[in-house]
């Protein structure tokens, strides 16, 4: 019985249909928040006119994203936005978003892998006298 008190319900908004019905969705009894997927929302709202992106700059999409935050605030629920960078996430907080991502898992993994490879190359390209193996010249 206690676990139900800790469960939260979020709606994912990433289509024109959801955007067109945002007030009704936000008014859904028991809904705690709305999570916006900006790439799919961009594709759906602009019918493929722009390449979907995590941090949309097109004013039509930015306006839609801002509107969703306003509707959530008016309904007394939380709003969250999937962002690709800390900079865009900070902008979203300024627009009224309660929660954001600051990147994507695949980008974090790629950055960590790149750093590890660079470190490995630096270590193996050093001469044996410098603590390297002298290998890695390929």
Query: Do 109 and 80 belong together in one domain?
Result: no
The CB-side HSE value for 59 (13 A sphere, CA atoms) comes to 0
Terminal alpha carbon distance of the chain: 62
Query: Do 112 and 136 belong together in one domain?
Result: yes
Query: Do 83 and 138 belong together in one domain?
Result: no
Summarize the confidence of residues 110-124 as an average pLDDT: 90
74-91 per-residue burial string, b: 16 or more CB within 10 A, e: under 16: ebebbbbbbbbeeebbeb
The 10s digit of each residue's pLDDT in 54-108 is 788 899 999 999 999 999 999 999 999 999 999 999 999 999 999 999 887 788 7
Query: Do 127 and 95 belong together in one domain?
Result: no
- Helix residue ranges per DSSP H, the chain: 2-6, 16-20, 22-26, 38-45, 59-75, 86-94, 105-125
What is the extent of the structural domain holding 115? 105-138
**For the chain, what is the domain count?**
2
């Amino acid at each position: 019985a206690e676990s139900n008190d800790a469960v939260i319900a979020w709606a994912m908004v990433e289509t024109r249909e959801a955007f067109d019905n945002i007030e009704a969705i936000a008014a859904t009894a028991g809904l705690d928040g709305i999570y916006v997927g900006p790439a799919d929302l961009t594709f759906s709202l602009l019918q493929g006119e722009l390449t979907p992106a995590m941090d949309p700059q097109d004013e039509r999409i930015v306006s839609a994203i801002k509107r969703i935050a306003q509707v959530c605030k008016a309904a007394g629920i939380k709003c969250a936005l999937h962002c690709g960078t800390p900079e865009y996430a900070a902008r979203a907080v300024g627009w009224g978003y309660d929660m954001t991502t600051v990147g994507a898992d695949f980008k974090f993994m790629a950055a960590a892998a790149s750093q590890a490879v660079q470190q490995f190359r630096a270590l193996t390209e050093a001469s044996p006298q410098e603590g390297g193996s002298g290998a890695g010249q390929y």
